[in-house]
Amino acid sequence: MTAMAAHELKEYEGLINRLSQVVKLSDAFPDQMSDEGLEGILHFLPSNLAGSMRAFLAPRIRDVSIEILKTYGAWLDSAFRAGEEGKKVFLIPFNFPPEVIHCFEGAWPVTSEVLSTLGVASLEGQGERYWDYAMGLGLPDSACSANMIEVGSALTAVDFKPDVIISDCLGSCDINSKTHEFLARYMDIPLLFLEKTVDNSERGINQYYLYFKTLVEEVEEFLGEKLDEERMREVIGNANRASELYWELWDLHKYSPCPVPNIFSLFLYGIRYTMWGTEDAVKAIEAMVDKCSERLKKGEYPAEMEVARAIWSYTSYYFDMAGFFNWMEEHGITHLGDGLDLFFPQVIDTTSRETMIRGLAEIARNMPMTRQMGASSMSVQWLDDIIWATRELDADCVIYCGHHSCKQTWSGASVMRSELMKRTKIPTLILQGDSWIGRMTPMSALQETIEEFVNNVVKQRRTTVRAVG
């Protein structure tokens, strides 16, 4: 590591430490808050945080958002208390099902990308400081910013240290796997891994199941704790309930105008990647479903009319929540969810330990990115899932965020785009922005292109399609 990293960087607080302070804020919020009361609080917050809070706490979703924020708060808080409660903290990527960790008495999950995202949303200077330091270590600027923010924080700042890493991107994402190999070495903590056989044949699936079982055994060994069938049943029971709610929410997306607020896409997978399998998660998603049903009844929609129904084929942008989710909504552009919502939750058979492990393996195999980028053919599987979603939700356009470092999706984007047009006549907008670093392409520029696309291509299409019936 450079002289720089050693003497300068350690003075800074790391991502997790700073975040745990921020999320505690949500406890300070009264459940019913007047706009004045809110502005009063925001006034005292640093600008980046205030901006995100404005997005989260827009009156139409405020009560749900507070519920969600409190859930995140509980999640991070438990990570901090894990030590004194004799629990081990697992650092997992977003595409590893946290309920597997929740099934263990002595373990708690902390999720890389969720931390980066919360950091970008709520910390002053967003994640850029950490990104800069990662670059300072000589890491490539073409690497995923979500991962680089994580590395920059972990290696150059004073921060909370997990006990073990699970790497779950072998086969579906090089940079994520490489980042965690790198992290494990420099944080000097064990690395457990789960390979996605890039093989959808029965043989490939069985092999994946074998790998998954081995991982579970390794976790049991690391914790000195055997999976307890009763505890599993309880956790998976919560997960199953959450899965049912997921599909209720999914169906609510089908109405036009869409009663599901744009930002719920983020809320949903934020919960999915952290608390899935806990009662808190069930409560949080229930609150989302209730809110949407209520909006459906009242026929509430933030804009005069719904002008576009967009599926975001991969990630969204997280460096300006208000400028992204809320802005689109207020312009009648519905965000029907993005690639990270496509995790196809299934109800797991809780008959026996065996059925539950098999069920968890199936869940893991269908997590976002794992399922698409880890398939026999990345572009084909990705395309199939997106086509399916566009039909299910009656989308009239697809938008690809073009997250700079995402080499797998970038190499499938042109096939996706042309095949989607050929088979469904649905147009794709390919943007070029970084999901976590605003500096790459500012939100204003992205908004400009989105409007151009909606006005020229989508509106046009909607009228003709409606005309045809």
Partner 1 sequence: MNALQCLQSQSTDIFTEYVRDWKEKGGKVLGYACVATPVEVIEAAGILPYRIKAFGHPDTELGDAYLARFNCRFCRACLQLGLDGTYDFLDGIIETNGCDHLRGMFENWQHVKGYEFFHYLKVPHFVREDSLDYFEEELSLMRQAISKYFGVDITDEALLKAIKTYDEIQGKLKKLYALREQARPAVTGAEVMQIICTGSSLRGEDFGALLTGILEEKANASVPPYRARLMLLGSATDEIDLVREMEAQGALIATDALCFGSRSFWARAGGKGDPVRLLAERYLSHLFCPRMFTEYQERWDYILETARRANVDGAVIVYNKFCDLHGVEAVSQRMDLEKNGIPVLVLEKDYGSQADTGRIKTRVQAFLERIGG
Partner 2 sequence: MKCLGLDIGSLFSKAVVMEDGEVLSSAVIDTTGNVADEVDSLIDAVLSAAGITRDDLDGMGVTGRGADMVELGDVSKDDVSCIGKAVSHLVPDVSLVLDMGGQSITSILLDEEGDIMDFMRNDKCASGSGKFLEVMGGALGVKIAELDEFAGRATKKVSISSQCGVFVESEVVTHLNEGEDAAAITAGVCESVAKIVISQALKFGFQDDYTFTGGVGKLKSVTDRARQRIRGAYHEFPCDPQLAGAIGAALFAEER
Partner 3 sequence: MYFAGIDVGSLTAQAVVINDKGIKSFKSIGVKPNPVDSAQTVIEMLLSEDRLSWNDIKFCVSTGYGREQVQARGLAQDNMSEISCHGLGAFWICPEVRTVVDIGGQDAKVIRIGANGELVDFVMNDKCAAGTGRFLEVQARTLGLALDELGVIALSSRNALELSNRCSIFCETEVLHYLQRGHSKADIAAGVNRAMAERVAALVRRVGMENEVTMSGGVAKNVAVRAELERILNIKLVRYGVDSQIVGALGAALIAKRMGG
Residues forming contacts to partner 3 in the complex (CB under 8 A) are 2-5, 8, 132-133, 135-136, 138, 141, 438-442, 445
Place of tokens 């990308």: 113
Q: Which is nearer to partner 2, 291 or 404 (CB)?
A: 404
Query: Which residues are at the interface with partner 1 (CB under 8 A)?
Result: 1, 137-140, 142-143, 167, 170-171, 173-175, 177-179, 181-182, 185, 191, 193, 195, 197-199, 203-204, 207, 210-211, 214, 373, 376-379, 404-405, 407-408, 410-415
Q: How far from each other are the two terminal CA atoms of the chain, in whole angstroms?
A: 63
Binds 136, which of partner 3, partner 1, partner 2, none (CB < 5 to 8 A, cut-off by type)?
partner 3
Binds 174, which of partner 2, partner 1, partner 3, none (CB < 5 to 8 A, cut-off by type)?
partner 1
Q: Which is nearer to partner 1, 198 or 443 (CB)?
A: 198
Secondary structure of 1-15 as H, E, C letters? CCHHHHHHHCCCECH
Binds 8, which of partner 2, partner 1, partner 3, none (CB < 5 to 8 A, cut-off by type)?
partner 3
Rounded to whole angstroms, how far apart are CA atoms 101 and 219? 9
Which amino acid would we find at residue 328?
Answer: M
Instruction: Please report how close the Cβ of residue 433 comes to partner 1 at its closest, in angstroms.
Output: 12
CA angle 211, 214, 218 (to 5 degrees): 135
CB 404 within 8 A of CB 142: yes
Helix axis angle for 35-43 and 47-56, nearest 10°, is 160
Binds 226, which of partner 1, partner 3, partner 2, none (CB < 5 to 8 A, cut-off by type)?
none
Site for partner 2 in 415-434 (CB under 8 A): 417-418, 421-422, 427, 430, 432
Tell me the window of 268-276, 289-297, 323-331, 414-422 that interacts with partner 2 (CB under 8 A): 414-422
Two structure tokens written together for 331: 């312009």
Instruction: Please report how close the Cβ of residue 309 comes to partner 1 at its closest, in angstroms.
Output: 26
Residue 251's CB is within 10 A of a number of other CB atoms, namely 14
Binds 133, which of partner 3, partner 2, partner 1, none (CB < 5 to 8 A, cut-off by type)?
partner 3
Two structure tokens written together for 420: 């989607």
Q: If we measure between CA atoms, which residue out of 437, 436, 380 comes closest to residue 408?
A: 380
CB 360 within 8 A of CB 99: yes
* Residue 451 in contact with partner 2, rule: CB under 8 A: yes
E strand or H helix at 253: none
Place of tokens 């509980």: 74
Query: Given the rule CB under 8 A, which residues bind partner 2?
Result: 414, 417-418, 421-422, 427, 430, 432, 441, 449, 451-453, 455-457, 460, 464
